[in-house]
Each structure stands twice: as structure tokens, then as C-alpha cells.
Chains A and B, each alone.
Chain A
Amino acid sequence: MMNEGSELSVTIAQIVQRLKGTHLHSQLEKQAKECLHRPEIRLESIKEDVRKFLRATGWERKLQNAVYRELHILPPSGHPEAPLEHTKEPLAYMRKAQASWEKRILKSLNSMCTELGVPLARKRPVLEQKELTSKWNEMGADEPDLSKFRPVYAPKDFLEVLINLKNPNHDHSDGLTARSHWGLIPISLSVRDVPQLREAYPELSLSCSQLGIDDHAHVPPDLFESEHIRIGKKVVDEQDSAAAQQYSRQGSPTGLRAQLWALILNITNDPEDVAHYEQLKAAVIHHDLLVDNLIYKDVKLTASNDDYYFVFEDVLYQVLLCFSRDTAVLEHFSYNSATPPKSYIQGKTGEEEFAVVYPPNGVIPFHGFSMYVAPLCFLYNEPCKLYSVFREMYVRYFFRLHSISSSPSGIVSLCLQFERLLQIHLPQLFFHLQEIMAQPLRIAFKWMVRAFSGYLSTDQLLLLWDRILGYDSLELVAVLAAAVFAFRAENLMEVTSLASAEAVLADLSTLKVMPLLQIFLFANVI
């Protein structure tokens, strides 16, 4: 058992290792060297003086932000003898389930590949490369024939997998009682109840002002909004990542949100990042991947059909095609319970030296995947910055929504938490719904997998994602799902089938997210 002191030194060593050799590192060195010419730097106190200089010129802040970012994506610490597999997902049955799910997906992908006679990857002929380069900004203008491609899986397929999870140590054969779990998730994980949530999310309480509630048209702006915006501007000026995250818990003003999110995610848009994006673009031009067709199809089916996101079609292709080829994304598999799928060079199946991660970023897109990017197009114009923000959001949060793990922000925990909250606080409703074979999770699952993107109106969605960033957790997605059911409970009590329950909950575009969350967490009698 390691004590805290040595755990801390290991963490520090890990972070130092990761930051070594980055652009920031070389810039800091350069700044330190150049400042030696300055009069205030004295030989006797050189260390102190250089530190003071770096602090005054904002470089210390940049380093702080970088360290803060590393802390967000630090792999979980475990026993030094434990293999990585066990550290990132301690529960054996979850690992098994994830592995077999991955196998299924890859099999589906490979069989599509054989059926259609389309290779997983192919080098584009020069003419095709030229053509693609010229229409890089209008890829959506094409209408290629995608009828033979099917999405590899849809959220409801994934739900079936979760419903069939089995914990060998858990016996739940006691049937349906008041104390058993009425929902679909058959396993037990530690999820927070309302009293615990109240403690964890104090900024959402009734006595605390926030955007999404206290910036309503009828509330005079001097009561909260103007002051909040003023503080927001200060946070942006200070360029303080941690402060931005804390600030975001009360919501980000529309005019500052893009900068605040970039700050929270530490998107610096260095020449390094720009060069990396250009490389990815070049990779797209040179090679065509089978998953590209899946991306096209997904964008055409989802974002292009949305009343608001259709405008962003072209940039969605740019971001997602580059994303598929970005091997930097593979880093997140050190804390993602999933393992990147491997493909083998033809004829060498099973021989590890001929294994290649496919797609290069290890993420196979599913139906609705493009909706993770669409709301961000609302905030960022330059493809490079948009890309960096999306990638960071993916490796911090979105990946948890489609991999099987015991993480409190993982989709399994979210589903369980949703069902528990409903069972405890709306037992009559839950009982009624499961009696008419309309299990609530069957309806709420698709909302949660997409973190509500495409279901809420954009401004409300962004208010929700403000808090996801602010609290560094997806938990509120589960709470919101329960709050939506609570809000429509009266109508739901009248329905007599799954289809009519779906109809009651089909249109969430008029919902106001923050009041729903606030009422559910703080105004309910426990």
C-alpha cells in the first residue's frame, strides 16, 4: 500500500514526464534563457528572479493550466504490479463484457467490409486526392451513394449489452419487491443519491444564482447577470484554467463561452496544434478509410437533418475525418476501459507484428456520433480550434458514454443512477411504466449516450455542458434525465404503452435545463 506522499511524487513524476518535450516546455526554456538579459535578473538570486519573471509574464499560469489539464486525464493509480487493464477497469466482469462487445463491433465492421468489397483502408489515386483538396470546404455538397453502408451499431444495441451485464457475485433472484431494483441494469455500483448530490452540486441550489435561471428576461441584470459577466471577463483575462472551471458551474455567458471552454480544456492553439491538424488533413487526403463512409452516413442521417445543425455539415466532415486518423487519441486508452480495435494486414491475422489499430484513433463511430461535435460548431469557427476542443472533450468525457466501465461518469453508472433516482423519488411513475412494459431507461438511454445533444435546444444544451465541464463529471446527465421524467410525470401516468410514453417524451426542445435540475435536486422533499 503506497502512502500519500509517494503517490504524490509518482503523480508529479508522471506529469513532468508528459510535459517534457512539449511545445510549452521549449517555450518556457526559451523564455527563461532570454530573460537572463534583463536587468532585474541577478546572478545571486537567479532561480528566484527567473521564477518571478515567469510569473509576472503569465508563463507560470500557462504551466499551471497545463498541469491542471494533465491531472484531468491522469490514468488511475494502481498497484505497481497490476497490469494496465486492471488499473483502468478493476471489475473483471466489466472487462469481459467490454472485450466481448468490442469483438462484436469489429466483427460487424469486418463483415461489412467483406460484404461490400470495400477495403478497410485504401490509398487514394492522385486525381482523387486533388479533387478532395479542392472541395475540402464543401464535402457536404456531394451526395455519394451510402445506401449499402449501415451504422456499425446504434445506442439501442449498446443498451442490450448493458442490460445483459452479469456480476457473478451478485444474486438478484429475489424478484420484484419494493426493495429490489425495478430497472434494467442488473448490477450494483455505488451511485450518489439526492442528499449526496446536493452536497456535490451546491452551486445549483435555490439560494445560488446562475445562468439558465437568473438571467431570465424578467430578472433585472444587476441582480446577478452583469456581475457574473464582469467576473467572467476577469477570468478570461487571467487565463486561469482552474478558475474558469469553477466559474462555469454557474454557467458561461454566451459571449464568453467559447473562450472559457477553451481555457477549461487548455486549448492553446499553438503552432504545434495547427501543424498537427494539417498533418491529419493530409492523412485524410492520402487515404480513404471505410469508417469515412460511416461518418458520412451518420452526418447525413443526424446533423444534416437537424433544424439548426444542418449548416455545419461541411465542418463536421472535416473534424470527424481528421479525428479518425488522429493517433494522439490512442493515449486516452490508458484510462478508458476499452481497448482500441486491431486489424491485421491481409493474410497475417493473429500475428501481432502485422497488427494495426483500426481506425487509427481506435474509435469506431456509431449512429449519432457526429452529434458530439455539432453543438461545438456553434462556438468555434476555425476548424483547427474546433477540432482541438472536440478532441479534448472526447478524451475527457464523451468516451465514457459508449464504453463499459465502473467509472462514476461511465454510461453504466449513469443508467443505474437514473433508474435509482426515479425509483426512489417517483416510485409510482416507475412502477406504472414498468407495468406497461415501458421501462424508462429505454427512452432515456439515447439522451444520455449523446449527453442530450440533438434533443435539447442548443442554448439549453450548452448550459448543461457548462456544468459538465464545471464539475468535471457527466453525472448531471443522469440527474437531468430523471428530472425530465419528473417534469412530465403527470402525462406519463396516463399512458398505456411504450409508444405513447415515447410520444410524451419525444420533444424536449422547449425544456429549460437549469430549473429542472434545480427543482429535482433542491426542491424535492426527501
Chain B
Amino acid sequence: MSKSKTGGYKGPYGYQKRKDGEGRSCVRYKCSLMNTVLDVLHQRPGWVEVKEDGEWDFNWCDVGWLRENFDHSYMEEHVRICHFRNHYELTRKNLMVKNLKRYRKTVEREAGRLEAVKCDFFPLTFVLPSEYHLFVEDFKRSPGSTWIMKPVARSQGKGIFLFRKLKDIMEWKKDCTRSDEQRDEAQVESYVVQSYIENPYLIHGRKFDLRVYILVTSYLPLKAWLYRDGFARFSNTRFSLRTIDDQYVHLTNVAVQKTAPVYNPEKGCKWQMQQLRRYLTAKHGTYVVEELFKDIDNIFIRSLQSVQKVIINDKHCFELYGYDILLDQDLKPWLIEVNASPSLTASNQDDYEMKYSLIEDTLHIVDMEGRLTGKEKRVGGFDLMWNDGPVFRENAGLETLGSPFQTANTHLGGVNDRKKQLRQLLKPFPGQKKV
């Protein structure tokens, strides 16, 4: 696949209008990010950047732009944009909690207790100030435990703190001037308070969380892809419950670690998912780790199902989510949060290559060029995880009917030989000779 700049296409209107599904040889794009995404778009054959007010076929926008412009834009059938209108139902902590709680109730009602237990992957959470009293009840029931306060809409670890005494958040309640950075007109910033996981899985004393990428191309029906690569982000210091004021210990976001006194930018404090998976397999054996990754798959699917009916489905939209998962000492995975705009800025060369491939494969799946049949179970590093129902590795046939031995079509932390797979899968770009 050629990575040369598309110098040949002068005149942005020199494209042919084709019916949806036949693909385009020239794609006009807008991009509001100045990082890896821009590089991928620049280097994609046949894709041309358009100026501020020009018409576009593809928009990699930020959520701010979306909020202001989505409702006023008319998009032709073929146009694609990288967010769903109300993605915040999944990505804002208070709304996610509300949707998950409601979903759990539905599951319990329809499928019973045992099934509902599979929804218990998020720590006990309350929205403040609305659920303050409910929270206090639970707080009193478990004295001495640690809780974590997170602002609903901020990212990169900003505004987060831990506490054990009610008085620590009473002050916050009374002191409205504290969170003055991003105050809305008259409202105090919404927070969620969550039970802090005090027994995280540690690797030689260090806490880490997992970043996993999920691509959703449709909510109704639900179609979601899981990327094989991801990483484990380590806290730079050793985990201890002694000092809950040290946010460097507890928060594993790279953004927070970057300002920690001992951060070494060259190190990156990250392990590739493959490395983590191998480490866990060496420690606990293949079976245990396979069960763990099945539990992690379960988190993705159920979290998406919980917002399936709430998210405004729109065939123009797709979204690449960054899921944050934390493991505890019993190897139970917990959902910490879902990001609609996961950082695509690279911290080093390896990270750059990973993110470049991630975005490239996302664009392959969005398929403006019309090269896919729609029946693919794998595109590059993405595996189709859910397609209006579970997707299995084995192809359906008489032998597999009713067989309990079907394995899910997910390979998180597995070998990612995407280049080879793409060579076999994709037709060359329209207008390009076959490589």
C-alpha cells in the first residue's frame, strides 16, 4: 500500500459522485486533531484535506465541534463522522453509571440473578450531588474504606482525588468556589463518587490499568470491533494505601504520570498488551488468563448493550472508544471508564506505530473506498466482536451447530500480523495498481 502524498489530485471537486456502497476514489476530509490521525489521513491515497468551510466526505472532529455543528449539518448518505451525537451516554461517568444500573435491572428482571451478576463489573458508584444521601448510606455501611471522587466531564486525571472521611467531601460540597476552572454558568460541577478498588492487581508493587480500543460502526444493530493491540499503563511509584494524597501512585493516566517527579519520558511506563498477556499466562496459566479475557469481552459487550437503545443511531457515525479496565488481585476486571476521544498522540516510536495502525484499520473498516464486502470478521488488527449477536472464530456449519465449544472472535493481546492479513483481504485503492 503506497504511502505517497496525493499530490496528483488537484481540484477538490474532481471526484465522481457514486452511489453509496460503490466507494469513492477521492475523499475530502476534515480533521481537527494535530497528531497521528492527521498523518494517517494525509498519507491515505485519494484523500484530500479541505479548508474550513469546504464540503467534506469525512470528518475526524472533536466532541466540541460535534456539539456545536452536528445538529445543523446535512450529511449526504456516504458521509462519515467519527462520533455519535450523544456518545456521552457512554462516556460521561454519571450517564454511564445511570445506563449501566438501568441495564442491570432489566437483565435481572428478564434473565434472573445469575445473569445480572455478569453486569457487576463497575464499582459501586453514585452521582453527586443528586445521589448524595444514597451514597452516605453505603458509606456508613463500610467504615474505613476508600472512595474516589471523579469529575464527570474531565479527562487525563484532572480533578480526581481519594478520601476516607465524609468531611473531605463536605468541604467540597460547601466550598463551591473550589472547582472553578470549568464551571458552567450556574451549576456546580458534577462528580461521581466510586468505591475505590483497594486490592488492585500489582506487578511487583506497581499498579496498572489497561487501555483497550473498541470501534463501533452501528448501535442498531450493534456492530463492534475489538483491536488486538492495547497497553497496560503503569503507575510510576509503588502502590500503597498509606498516602491517598499522592495522586501519582493511584492514577495511571499517562498524563498524570508525566508530571510525577520521577517520570522518565523515554520509558513510557507502558507494556504492550501482548507482553502483559504473556506475563499473566506465565504466572497463572493459559486457562485462567483465557477466562480473564472472556470476562473482559463481557464488559465491552454489556456496556455497549446498556446504551444501545439510548444512543441515537446514525449510519453516518462511527466511534473509536478507549476503554479503561482495572484488574484486581482476584483477576476480576473492572470498568473504570470509556473515552470517546482516546488520546491518539504518541509517546514514542512504538506507540506511534501502534496508533497509526489503529487509525489506519479504523479507516479500512469505515471503508469510504468501498473495498469490503461487509462479511469480514477481521480487518487488520480489528476483530469483529459483536454483529447483532456474538461472533465466533469458527465458521458456522453443521458441525458447529449447538456445539458448546465455540470461541469468541476476539484476540486481545494476541499476535497482530495485520499487514499480512490486509494484503490478502483488500483490493488496491481505486485508481492504484495492485502492489
Contacts and interface: CB of A to CB of B under 8 A. Distances in A.
B329 to A, nearest CB: 12
Interface stretch (A34-42, A303-311, A320-328): A303-311
B202 to A, nearest CB: 10
B238 A141 contact: yes
Interface stretch (B189-197, B277-285, B381-389): B277-285
Majority DSSP secondary structure for residues of B touching A: mixed
B205 A314 contact: yes
Nearest to B283: A381
Nearest to A509: B350
A137 B234 CA distance: 17
B331 to A, nearest CB: 13
A254 B269 contact: no
B396 interface: no
Nearest to B420: A218
A198 interface: no
B415 A254 contact: no
A311 B203 contact: yes
Interface stretch (B12-20, B123-131, B260-268, B307-315): B260-268
Interface string B392-435: 00000000000000000000001101000000000000000000
A377 B205 CA distance: 13
B275 interface: yes
Contacts of B234: 311
A236 to B, nearest CB: 11
Given A305-B267, A311-B234, A459-B278, A255 B206 contact: no
Interface string A136-154: 0110110100000000000
Interface in B340-392: 350
B139 interface: no
Contacts of A258: 282-283
Nearest to A306: B267
A137 B267 contact: no
B237 interface: yes
B415 A137 contact: no
A200 B205 CA distance: 43
B282 A378 contact: yes
A315 B204 contact: yes
Contacts of A305: 264, 266-267
A257 B269 contact: no
A149 B283 CA distance: 36
Nearest to A257: B282
> Which residue, of B205, B286, B350, has the highest number of chain A Cβ atoms within 10 A?
B205
Interface string A252-288: 0111111000000000000000000000000000000
Contacts of A256: 285
Given A310-B267, A458-B278, A254 B286 contact: yes
B286 A141 contact: no
Contact of B286 (A253, A307, A313): A253
A379 interface: yes
Interface in A22-79: none
B135 interface: no
A143 B206 CA distance: 17
B285 A255 contact: yes
Nearest to B268: A307
Contacts of A140: 238
B271 interface: yes
Contact of B415 (A138, A217, A304): A217
Interface in A361-388: 377-379, 381
A257 B286 CA distance: 11
Contact of A217 (B270, B281, B417): B417
B204 A217 contact: no
A311 B283 contact: no
A312 interface: yes
Contacts of B266: 305
Interface in B127-149: none
A314 B283 contact: no
Interface string A414-450: 0000000000000000000000000000000000000
A346 to B, nearest CB: 38
A314 B237 contact: no
Contacts of A378: 278-279, 282
Contact of A308 (B262, B271, B286, B287): B271
Contacts of A257: 282
B351 to A, nearest CB: 11
A238 to B, nearest CB: 18
A320 to B, nearest CB: 14
Interface in A445-467: 458-459
A344 to B, nearest CB: 39
Nearest to B281: A254
Contacts of B415: 217
B279 A217 contact: no
Contacts of A254: 278, 281-282, 286
Contacts of A253: 286
Interface in A214-272: 217, 229, 253-258
> Which residue, of B205, B268, B282, has the highest number of chain A Cβ atoms within 10 A?
B282
B421 to A, nearest CB: 10
Contacts of B284: 255
A135 B203 CA distance: 17
Nearest to B274: A459
A308 B272 CA distance: 9
Contacts of B283: 258, 379, 381
A253 B414 CA distance: 15
A314 B282 contact: no
Contacts of B269: 310
B164 to A, nearest CB: 22
A379 B264 CA distance: 26
Given A138-B238, A308-B275, A379 B282 contact: yes
Contacts of B279: 378
Given A217-B414, A311-B203, A143 B262 contact: yes
A211 to B, nearest CB: 13
Contact of A458 (B275, B281, B350): B275
B228 to A, nearest CB: 11
A369 to B, nearest CB: 19
> Which residue, of A253, A254, A304, has the highest number of chain B Cβ atoms within 10 A?
A254
A452 to B, nearest CB: 17
Nearest to A140: B238
A137 B206 CA distance: 11
A135 to B, nearest CB: 9
Given A254-B278, A258-B282, A311 B268 contact: no
A301 to B, nearest CB: 12
Contacts of B206: 311
A312 B286 contact: no
B281 A314 contact: no
A305 to B, nearest CB: 7
A140 B287 CA distance: 33
A458 B277 CA distance: 12
A506 to B, nearest CB: 13
A307 B267 contact: yes
A381 B280 CA distance: 11
A229 B286 CA distance: 10
Contacts of A379: 282-283
B203 to A, nearest CB: 5
A212 to B, nearest CB: 13
A134 B111 CA distance: 51
User: What 6 A-B pairs come out closest when comparing CB atoms?
Assistant: A255-B286, A255-B285, A138-B238, A217-B415, A254-B281, A315-B204
Given A138-B205, A255-B289, A310-B267, 15 more contacts: A138-B238, A141-B238, A253-B286, A255-B281, A255-B284, A256-B285, A258-B282, A304-B267, A307-B267, A307-B270, A311-B204, A311-B234, A377-B204, A379-B282, A458-B275
11 contacts: A217-B415, A217-B417, A254-B286, A255-B289, A257-B282, A258-B283, A305-B266, A305-B267, A378-B282, A379-B282, A459-B278
Interface of B: 203-206, 234, 237-238, 262, 264, 266-271, 275, 278-279, 281-287, 289, 350, 414-415, 417
